[in-house]
Amino acid sequence: MDGGVGYADMDALKATELRLGLPGSHPPEKPLPTTTTTARPTKRSLDEDRAARRETSEGGRATSARATKAQVVGWPPIRSYRKNSFQAMKATAEAAGLYVKVSMDGAPYLRKIDLEVYKGYRELREALEDMFKCFEGCKGSEYAITYEDKDGDLMLVGDVPWEMFTSSCKKLRIIRGAEAIRGLGSSQ
Amino acid sequence: MTEDCDGEEKDEETRRWSPGQGGSSSSSSRGGGSGTSASSPFKNRCVRGRVDQPPPFSGQVLENVLENVLQFLPCRRDRNASSLVCRSWYRAEARTRLELFIGNCYAVSPARALGRFRCARALVLKGRPRFADFNLVPVGWGARFSPWVAAMAAAYPWLERVCLKRMTVSDADLALLARSFSSFRDLTLICCDGFGTPGLAAVAELCRNLRVLDLIENDVEDEDEEVVDWISRFPETDTRLESLSFECVNCPVNFAALEALVARSPSLRRLRVNQHVSVGQLRCLMVRAPQLTHLGSGSFETVPVADGAAELDVAELESSFVASKSLVCLSGFRMVAPEYLPAIYPVCAGLVSLNLSYAMTTAEQLKPVILRCHNLQTFWVLDTVGDEGLRAAAKTCKHLRELRVFPFEATEDSESAVSDAGLVAISEGCQKLRSILYFCQRMTNAAVVTMSKNCQDLVVFRLCIMGRHRPDHITGEPMDEGFGAIVMNCKKLTRLAVSGLLTDKVFEYIAKYGKLVRTLSVAFAGNSDLSLRYVLEGCHKLQKLEIRDSPFGDAGLLSGIHHYYNMRFLWMNSCKLSLRGCKEVAQRLPRLVVEVFGDQNKELDGDAVEKLYLYRSLVGPRDDVPSFVKIL
């Protein structure tokens, strides 16, 4: 290995390199020896792998940098005891979910959904349609999905990026019938 | 006195190797002699000389006096030195050493250690190299407690204390320990593995004089069906427990049994529970034991409450803290619900140690707590508090000696809320700082230099810039100057861990100025073998050197030949070593054990050495070598 090459340069080079392939995979490393194989095939390292994969597939959650750079074994040097404690914490935090009430005009009771489960608006719409199918009635009318944001205003779902929506949405309301058509007007 | 000893020494030798001679009547020999007196500790402490026997020879008197004097020397380094004076001192010291410290379990065999120190009552034993904590040592490498406990069961019936670090301890070992030593009182296990609740149950049940059971960061694995209610196994009578720590035992405990145990342990001062104890349950325990000095608070949040039970009021919790007037050390907070944190305000002013490193506290949540902790000396925290949180700590904690800032997201690309600014703030506010461990992503040479000038008492400096090869984030320069300033200005420094973009230059500084450095940790650093050569030639006190992923090869390795016998160990992984170089070291240093290994399931192939672990040993290659390790 060349003694004089700056490692920062190589990293910068790698970052700009174009390559074909799925995020998370990359061609065999050059002479710089890094320990990329797992030394300890315990259930914990498998969990870590799964957690890492889950994070990269969830929309908007993982940074792209994390997906392309291989995680080196044992770096940063944190004991697995501590890492596992945090995984448990993060898991419970994730399990907590982002539950919001969903009301629909004319429905006798409300529902609750976990916004974190959906990757985007299309999935949300489909899920809501599914959930409220029984209340459609024979009219099969127009409806608009709206939400109440942090400031208490009634907003139309779909205008802002998904992440912004999930962080500001307090409750959902499905408006049906004449009101919906009036509200939407030409914007649909 | 030395001359006398030497003279008698020769006579003693003659006597021992000439079975015809002997007896106490001869003027040139001594009565008794060291051989027989070593058999029991109690005999040594008896007054020698009976009426019907001639008075003991002056040599024997001197040895007795020496033993009595040496009993006042607790420090092992002093004892090591005194044992080198002459054979007589060696024997006297060996008879009076009460605590046996073995820094590398493979440096000596149980038979040899126990044979020399026949009266020890305490054992401190360390096993795996530290990089095992980071999954760099394959499972099954070694460091088993079994041979030690088996040997001690026979040799030390009066054993009282055992402290193990990075050893593999099985349930059977714990059971044997519990059965074999009637005076056993203290068990401390740190970063160990191999045991589960059955072993703990044996200890609880059979160690009737147990005072300390501290389980710290161990890997306690139980198959779900095999979990044993070990807390219920403590004797039904009042116990002598002073300290009980089981944060790492990650399975639910029988709370009723725990509460009853605490209630019948009047000497209990230190209690650290696991995260399956809710804050409501914690309050019950605190009411039972208001005399606690050290408290590990478990989850510090309300898990789903039992039917009918009301959620704990913060004011009620706070009153428990008010009642715990002796608390000096607080830890736990595994799932802390932020609204409960203010309950600890009443004890903050008395706290000497606070560990919030499992709590995702923000700066805003931390400030009201830390601003009350004027007497804090040890502070462990997560980087979620950010530079702002550290500034608050720096403002108040003028007596801070030890700071550890852990990363919440321990990955290379994570965003960290702490940076060089936090380090500077700490250095300006906490000038008595002795030990720091700081994880971050952004650091500057200027900040590290500032710390080196403000905190001249630093003994331990461990900085981990998590992104590999990261330079000074403002100047783009390597971090050489910063670490150089640390070794130059902090004259008491004995432990150093370096990170970030580093060239050979930093090692030149370390070699030149780091004359007291005993432990050095290197990762992704240096340009060439020169780095390794500098360190091995310049750091005369170096004992422990651990290196990973750095471009050091055989030439660097061979430059340490003159020093390896003075070291506890050298660890190198993912460097540029070859079998040839390692073999040469092994050949030239016969009392060194040179272990070479790769990953667990791969055969060693080729000439490249993936992992090297070498250490001095009195007993040569160990006999429990797994298949993936080769001893050269």
Confidence at residue B409, expressed as pLDDT on a 0 to 100 scale? 87
Query: Residue B42 belongs to what H/E stretch?
Result: helix B41-45
A contact residues 34-63, partner B, Cβ 8 Å cutoff? 34-35, 37-42, 45, 63
Which of A73-77, A91-95, B424-428 is predicted least confidently?
Answer: A91-95
User: CA nearest A179: which of A136, A140, A144?
Assistant: A144
The identity of residue B521, as a single letter, is: S
- Interface contact flag, B407 A78, Cβ < 8 Å: yes
- A38 CB neighbours in chain B (<8 A) are 135
CB burial of residue B585 (10 Å; 0-12, 13-18, 19+): buried
- Mean pLDDT across chain A: 67
pLDDT > 70: percent of chain B: 88
- What is the reported pLDDT for B373? 96
Distance CA A12, CA B277 (A): 48
Measured between beta carbons, which residues in chain B are less than 8 angstroms from residue A1? 551, 576
* Contacts of B381-385 spanning 24+ positions with Cβ under 8 A: B381/B356, B381/B357, B381/B405, B381/B406, B382/B356, B382/B357, B382/B358, B382/B406, B382/B407, B382/B408, B383/B407, B383/B408, B383/B416, B383/B417, B383/B418, B383/B439, B383/B440, B384/B360, B384/B408, B384/B417, B385/B361, B385/B417, B385/B418
Q: Confirm if B530 and B552 have CB atoms less than 8 A apart.
A: no
pLDDT value, residue A60: 38
φ and ψ of B73, to 5 deg:
-100, 100
DSSP B395: H
A155 strand-pairing partners: A147
Per-domain residue ranges of chain B? 67-95, 98-228, 242-302
% pLDDT > 90, chain B? 76
Please report the ipTM that was assigned to this predicted complex: 0.81
The pair of three-digit structure tokens given for residue B632, joined into one six-digit string: 């050269």
How high is the mean pLDDT of chain B? 88
- Across the range B102-108, mean pLDDT stands at 96
Please report, for residues B17, B269, B271, B280, the alpha-carbon distance to residue B266 in angstroms, rounded to integers and kept in the order given: 56, 9, 12, 22
Tell me how far apart the alpha carbons of residues B482 and B474 are, in angstroms, rounded to a whole number: 13
Q: Are A99 and A112 in contact (CB under 8 A)?
A: yes
Which of B548, B554, B601, B613 should be substituted to probe chain A, the one whose Cβ sees the most A Cβ atoms within 10 Å? B548
Crossing angle of the two packed helices B197-206 and B171-180, in degrees rounded to 10: 10
CATH topology of domain B98-228: 3.80.10
Q: Domain coordinates of chain A in residue numbers?
A: 99-181
Task: Among B357, B358, B573, select the one facing A35 at the smallest CB separation.
Answer: B573
Contacts of B42 (CB under 8 A, 6+ apart): none
CA distances from B600 to A39, A41, A124, B629 (A): 7, 9, 47, 9
Report how many helices (DSSP H) and strands (DSSP E) chain B contains, helices first: 23, 21
Phi, psi of A63 (to 5 degrees): -80, 150
Per-residue pLDDT for A186 more than 50? Answer: no
- Alpha helices per DSSP H over B168-251: 171-180, 197-206
Report helix, strand or coil for B508. helix
Q: H-helix or E-strand containing B242?
A: none
pLDDT of residue B309 exceeding 60, the answer is no
B248 has pLDDT over 50: yes
Residue B152 pLDDT: 96
Angstrom distance (rounded) from CA B592 to CA B619: 10
Residue B316's φ and ψ, nearest 5 degrees, are -65, -45
Average pLDDT of span B132-156:
94
pLDDT, position B25: 38
Q: What is the pLDDT of residue A166?
A: 84
Residue B303 region, left (φ>0) first, then alpha (ψ -120 to 50), else beta?
Answer: beta
Taken in order B128, B614, A41, A60, the sign of the CA dihedral is positive
Q: Does A31 touch chain B (CB under 8 A)?
A: no
Convert B98-129 to b/e letters by CB count within 10 Å (16 or more is b): ebbbbbbbbbbbbeebbebbbbbbbbbbbbbb
pLDDT > 90 in chain A, percent: 5
pLDDT (0 to 100) of residue B46 = 41
Task: Write B70-75 long-range contacts (CB < 8 A, 24+).
Answer: B70/B96, B71/B96, B74/B98, B74/B99
> Are residues A39 and B466, on separate chains, in Cβ contact within 8 Å?
no
Give pLDDT, residue B510: 97
Whether the bond between A76 and the residue before it is cis, its omega within 30 degrees of 0, is yes
The pTM of this model reads: 0.75
DSSP B251-309: S---HHHHHHHHHT-TT--EEEE-TTS-HHHHHHHHHH-TT-SEEEETT-S--SPPTTP
Q: Which run of H or E residues covers position B108?
A: none
**Which pLDDT does position B287 carry in this prediction?**
94
Complete DSSP assignment for B54-96: PPPPHHHHHHHHHHHHHTT---HHHHHHHHTS-HHHHHHHHHH
Mean pLDDT value across residues B581-607: 83
Mean pLDDT of A135-157: 77
Query: Residue B446 and residue B464: Cα distance in Å, rounded?
Result: 16
When computed from its CA atoms, the radius of gyration of chain B, rounded to whole angstroms, is: 27
Q: Would you say how long chain B is, in residues?
A: 632
Three-state DSSP class for residue B187: strand
Is there a contact between B466 and A76 if contact means CB atoms under 8 Å apart?
yes
Q: Specify whether the CB–CB gap between B576 and B550 falls below 8 A.
A: no
Radius of gyration of chain A (CA): 24
CATH architecture assigned to A99-181? Roll (3.10)
d(C-alpha B594, C-alpha B616), whole Å = 9
Q: Which residue has the tokens 């959930």?
A: A131
- pLDDT of res. B542: 97
Predicted confidence (pLDDT) at residue B275 exceeds the cutoff of 50: yes
Nearest CA to CA, how far is B294 from chain A (Å)? 21
The verdict on a CB contact (< 8 Å) between A3 and B551 is yes
Amino acid at B221: E
Residue of B nearest to A91 (CA): B335
> What pLDDT score was predicted for residue B312?
78
The three-state secondary structure class of B421 is: helix
CB contact under 8 A, A75 and B412: yes
Q: What is the pLDDT of residues A11-69, one digit of tens each?
A: 555 556 665 555 555 444 444 444 443 333 344 444 444 444 444 444 334 344 444 45
Closest CA to B233 of B273, B205, B198: B205
Interchain contact A69–B (C-beta under 8 A): yes
- Of A175-184, B69-78, B180-189, which one has max mean pLDDT? B180-189
